[in-house]
A and B are shown apart, each in its own frame.
Chain A
Amino acid sequence: MYGWVGNILKVDLSQGNISTEPTEPYVEDYIGGRGLGVRLIYDHYRPGTDAFDPSNPLIFNMGPLTGTALSGSGRVDVTALSPMSQLRAKSNFGAYWGPEVKFAGYDHIVIQGKAEKPCYLWIKDGTVEIRVASHLWGKDTYETQKLIQQELGDPEIKVVCIGPAGERLVRSACIITETGDAAGRTGMGAVMGSKNLKAIAVRASGGVQVAKPHEFLELSIQINNEIRKHPAYQELSQWGVSRGVQMMYQMGFFPVGYFEDVCWDELLQKYSAPDYIQKNQLKNMGCFCCPNRCMNFISVPHIGKGLTSCEPFSGFTGAVWNLDMDVFWEATLLVNKLGIDCTETSAAIGLLMELYHDKIITAADTDGIPMERGSKEAILGTIHKIANREGYGDLLAEGQKAFAEKIGPEALEKVDLVKGLSPHAYEFRAFKGTGLMQAIGHRGDPLPLRGSLLEVDWHHANDWFQQVAKEQFGDEKAAVPTSYQGKARSAVISEHMERVADNIGVCKWLFGLFIYQDADMAAKVFQLVTGKDWGLGHLMKASERVRNLERMFDVRQGLRRKDDSLPKKFFEQPLTAGPYKGEVLDREKFEQMKDEYYQIRGWDKETGIPTREKLSELNLTGVADEVLGQA
Chain B
Amino acid sequence: MALKTLIIDAQKCIGCRSCESYCALKHENVCNPAKGRIHVVKWEQEAIFVPINCMRCEVPACELACPKHATYRNYRTGALEVDANRCIGCLSCVFECPFGATFVDPLDGRVLKCDLCDGDPTCVKVCPTNAITYEEISKEAYIKLTQNADRIPLLVKKALGEG
Contact = CB atoms under 8 A, between A and B. Distances in A.
Interface string B31-53: 11111000000111111000000
A221 B14 contact: no
B31 to A, nearest CB: 4
A297 B11 CA distance: 14
A85 interface: no
B65 interface: no
A69 B18 contact: yes
A297 B129 CA distance: 15
Contacts of A220: 22, 25
A293 B47 contact: no
Contact of B17 (A96, A207, A293): A96
Given A156-B42, A205-B107, A283-B47, A217 B26 contact: yes
A205 B14 contact: no
A118 interface: no
Interface in A65-90: 67-69
A100 B31 CA distance: 11
A220 B24 CA distance: 13
Given A69-B18, A205-B106, A293 B128 contact: yes
A213 B16 contact: no
Contact of A297 (B24, B25, B29, B47): B47
A217 B26 CA distance: 7
A142 interface: yes
Contacts of A217: 22, 25-26, 122
Interface stretch (A284-292, A514-522, A580-588): A284-292
SS class, residues of chain A in contact with chain B? mixed
B21 interface: yes
A179 B45 contact: yes
Nearest to A71: B18
Given A69-B21, A225-B125, A103 B44 contact: no
Contacts of A286: 14, 16, 128
B138 to A, nearest CB: 28
A206 B108 CA distance: 11
Contact of A285 (B15, B24, B26): B15
A224 interface: yes
A205 B32 contact: yes
A34 B26 CA distance: 29
Given A206-B32, A210-B30, A221-B122, A285 B18 contact: no
Contacts of B16: 285-291, 293
Contacts of A470: none
A228 to B, nearest CB: 6
Contacts of B22: 69, 217, 220-221, 289
B126 interface: yes
B25 A69 contact: yes
Contacts of A290: 16, 18, 128
Contacts of B17: 96, 288-289
Interface in B90-138: 106-107, 122, 125-126, 128-129
Contact of A207 (B26, B34, B125): B34
Contacts of A178: 44
Contacts of B14: 283-286, 293
Contact of A224 (B45, B126, B129): B126
Contact of A103 (B26, B32, B46, B122): B32
B131 to A, nearest CB: 11
A282 B128 contact: no
A208 B46 contact: no
Interface string B1-25: 0000000000000111110011011
B163 to A, nearest CB: 27
15 contacts: A69-B21, A156-B42, A178-B44, A205-B107, A208-B31, A209-B31, A210-B30, A213-B30, A217-B25, A282-B47, A283-B14, A285-B47, A289-B16, A289-B17, A297-B47
Closest 6 CB pairs of A and B: A207-B32, A291-B128, A69-B21, A205-B106, A213-B29, A208-B31
Given A99-B33, A287-B16, A290-B128, 8 more contacts: A103-B32, A103-B33, A205-B32, A216-B25, A221-B125, A224-B125, A284-B14, A292-B128
